[in-house]
Amino acid sequence: MLQSGTLVANWNNSNNGLIQEMSEFTMKTFVTMGRGGTGKTSFVALMAKYLIEREKTPLLLVDADPDQNLAEMTGIDLQAAGKKTIAELLSETFIQRGGTTVGVAPSTRIENTIWEQGLYEGKYFDLLSVGTKWIEGCYCLPDAALKNALGTITRNYQFILIDSPAGLEHLNRKIASSVDTIFDVMGPSSKSFQHVKRAHRIIQEVGITFDKFYVIGGYEFPDELSQRAETETGLPYLGKIVNDDTVARYVLAGRSLIDIPDTSPAYQSVTQILEKIIDG
């Protein structure tokens, strides 16, 4: 998208390094989190479909979940496209090729490599994936690399959709320091309620700024818990993602949810949720 679209990044050398020409868009960042199995990644993919159909593009999709399902759910085969995850690029650069991690932070030095070899560019959206752990230990370096990369080029996009993992360690490292909207997709368990309250607290404690924080019911979330979701979490409840066999069939076949029929009950429910907060 960045190469062929109308908003091609215009980079200029300056004393401060590479400076990006600002886009005409007011960029918005949406982060979706939640425990595994709630429908979190499906929600991100269907949200991308919603924005594409309403011509609210260009989009950047960011898969920060180690399970790496977002690419598949949006019809992208990164390997076939010759693209690599941030974790793979870090491993190649600093382990396989023997690059040093001393001096300038690896997350900073690898930034250009991420855009050249990690960014999938599509017709309606681009996609970045953090990938699985690059070495034994935590995700500190991949998260730092993602944060640096996002801080450089994101204003070329109208929306950035981040699929965040269920674990909260990524929040502590602030992969995105300032976001517009956070969605927490809930399952029918006490752990989901605790996850929402814990995530909301951690986000504020680590200094992530946000405008709105919403809770959404996942596929299995009972309708009768909707009022409890608002009361117990203290956050607005927007509705639930309807359980839909069509989504299950598409995912099983490896087909993109962006191509799912508009009549899909799951897509219609996501549309109703988004129409409450996004201008038509």
How many beta carbons lie within 10 A of that of residue 17, not counting itself? 11
In this prediction, residue 222 carries a pLDDT of: 93
Residue 273 clears pLDDT 80, i.e. is over it: yes
Interval 161-177 mean pLDDT: 66
pLDDT: which is higher, 148 or 243: 243
Residue 218: how many CA atoms within 13 Å on its side-chain side? 22
- Could you tell me the domains of the chain? 28-275 (3.40.50.300)
193 half-sphere exposure, CB direction, 13 A CA radius: 14
- CA angle, 69 as apex, 66 and 71 as ends, to 5°? 110
pLDDT tens digits, one per residue of 132-164: 654 544 445 656 666 666 666 666 789 999 998
Amino acid 143: pLDDT: 60
Average model confidence (pLDDT) across the chain: 79
Higher pLDDT, 106 or 23: 106
Residue 234 has pLDDT above 90, yes or no: yes
* CA 122 to each of CA 4, 23, 69: distance values in angstroms, whole numbers, following the listed order: 9, 18, 17
